[in-house]
Amino acid sequence: MMNESISQGEASGATPLSGETFSAWLAATVRTLGGHSAACLHLDNPVLLEHIRANHELNRAWLDSGQAGEMEYLFRHAAMKDDLHVTLPSARSVIVVTFRNKWGHPDAAHPFPVPAPGAPVGYISAYAKERDYHHVGQELLSGLAAELVSLSGRDVGWAIGVDTKPVYERLLALTGGLGVQGGNDLLRTPELNVRVFIGCLFVDCRLPEVIRTPKMLFPCETCRACVKRCPTGALEFGKPIDARKCISYLTIEKRTVLDREDGAKIEDWLFGCDWCTTVCPVGDAAETRIPVDLEWLLKTPAARVRKILEGTATSYAGVTQLRKTAVVLLKKNPSPQAAALLAWVRDHSGSEVVRAQLMAW
């Protein structure tokens, strides 16, 4: 639904700005609000509708292949993604933006305590540093909506999606010319490569379209570094990702017990994986992952850990999921500290999920 805090009485009118003026306004406003790039599309744009139709066929084939693993919500959302006028019946245009939250910066901050010397650790993806990108994007787009209301001089109904609505956000960004689809299935942009997030502002007025042409330094097919770096074979160039082999899926989305093969795949990752992003197009000069002391994670009261996770992307996984994965990492660790910590978990954990993982293999 459109945001109900703004009256929609005159929403069907067009903005008085011309295309070029609106394009310049949009780019400048998004940058001022902390975003990177932006495009604007009519939801009845025939190219967009054709892209959605083609994507529907690819998505259904991918879902039917089983490669989505346990992500049942993707099946539930499939029909809604295929028709934006069903999902957002009053929307007429969408502004698509890219933004980031210091993803990959060595000085990006996180709230996790420094691991004790010699402690068993697991690693969290660098994108989870700083504020949760969902919150960053929603704040940016809320500000953009307010600026749009001021610009148009009339009421505008709007709705925001930052991985929170059943829409093909990457497809919208691609159709708007904000980048290309990388070999790792992520949006790859000319300036920031794949380390960007996507947000969508749907509005019930017909804005001038802003469609860009991405000028990439080189095509993905001549590089394929992301595919080569993937340690599990989840990526094949030109094909959809096999989520069942993806470390990010295994540590974040798969909520059932990880078997021995899954455990081998996740290496020392506790949440997410950076390998296919750090090589696009060059590797990091410094370690940007978040090291987490597994003893701290398992022994600290859950409410306190939950408070640490609050406001970060790791809150999506939650304490139980992180602890389940921590058990897997410890079971692969031959050190006496790991064995002692597993014994402590066996004696003290009240989580059925954690205990099931402990006994799995």
Q: Is residue 257 part of a domain?
A: no
Calculate the CA dihedral of residues 211, 220, 272, 355 and round it to 10 degrees: 120
d(C-alpha 21, C-alpha 13), whole Å: 17
Tell me which H or E stretch contains 92.
Answer: none
Q: Token digits for 148?
A: 């749009």
d(C-alpha 84, C-alpha 175), whole Å: 15
The closest of 182, 143, 135 to 311, measured between CA atoms, is: 135
Residue 39's Cβ-count burial label (10 Å; 0-12, 13-18, 19+) is buried
Q: Is residue 228 part of a domain?
A: no
Helix boundaries (H) for the chain: 19-32, 46-64, 72-82, 84-87, 133-152, 169-175, 225-229, 247-248, 260-265, 275-278, 294-299, 302-309, 318-332, 336-348, 352-360
Total tally of structural domains belonging to the chain? 1
Amino acid at 295: E
Residue 186 CA from chain centroid, whole number: 9
3-state percent breakdown (helix, strand, coil) of the chain, nearest 5? 45, 10, 45
What pLDDT, on a 0 to 100 scale, did the predictor assign at position 154? Answer: 81
Q: Is residue 135 part of a domain?
A: yes
What pLDDT, on a 0 to 100 scale, did the predictor assign at position 313? Answer: 97
d(C-alpha 361, C-alpha 259), whole Å: 7
Q: What is the CA radius of gyration of the chain?
A: 22
What pLDDT, on a 0 to 100 scale, did the predictor assign at position 10? Answer: 37
What pLDDT, on a 0 to 100 scale, did the predictor assign at position 285? Answer: 57
The closest of 174, 157, 148, 154 to 48, measured between CA atoms, is: 174
Query: Which range of residues forms the domain containing residue 201?
Result: 19-104+130-220
Active site residues: 163
Residue 76 CA from chain centroid, whole number: 19
The closest of 225, 241, 315, 318 to 278, measured between CA atoms, is: 225
Q: Is residue 26 part of a domain?
A: yes
Q: Is residue 340 part of a domain?
A: no
What pLDDT, on a 0 to 100 scale, did the predictor assign at position 3? Answer: 55
Residues ≥6 apart with Cβ < 8 Å to 153:
16
* 90 in Cβ contact with 11 (< 8 Å): yes
Q: Is residue 71 part of a domain?
A: yes
Q: Is residue 184 part of a domain?
A: yes
Backbone angles phi, psi at 199, to 5 degrees: -130, 150
* 212 in Cβ contact with 19 (< 8 Å): no
Give per-residue burial for 254-291: e unless 16+ CB within 10 Å, then b: beebbeeebbebbbebbbbbbbbbbbbeeeeeeebbbb
CA angle 272, 278, 283 (to 5 degrees): 150
* 195 in Cβ contact with 100 (< 8 Å): yes
Positions in the chain short of pLDDT 50: 1, 4-14
What's 313's DSSP letter?
G
What pLDDT, on a 0 to 100 scale, did the predictor assign at position 14? Answer: 47
Q: Is residue 167 part of a domain?
A: yes
What pLDDT, on a 0 to 100 scale, did the predictor assign at position 12? Answer: 41
Backbone angles phi, psi at 62, to 5 degrees: -65, -45
d(C-alpha 114, C-alpha 209), whole Å: 48
The β-bridge partners of 200 are 96, 161
- pLDDT one-digit tens code per residue, 113-142: 999 999 999 999 999 999 999 999 999 999
What pLDDT, on a 0 to 100 scale, did the predictor assign at position 286? Answer: 67
- pLDDT one-digit tens code per residue, 266-278: 999 999 999 999 9
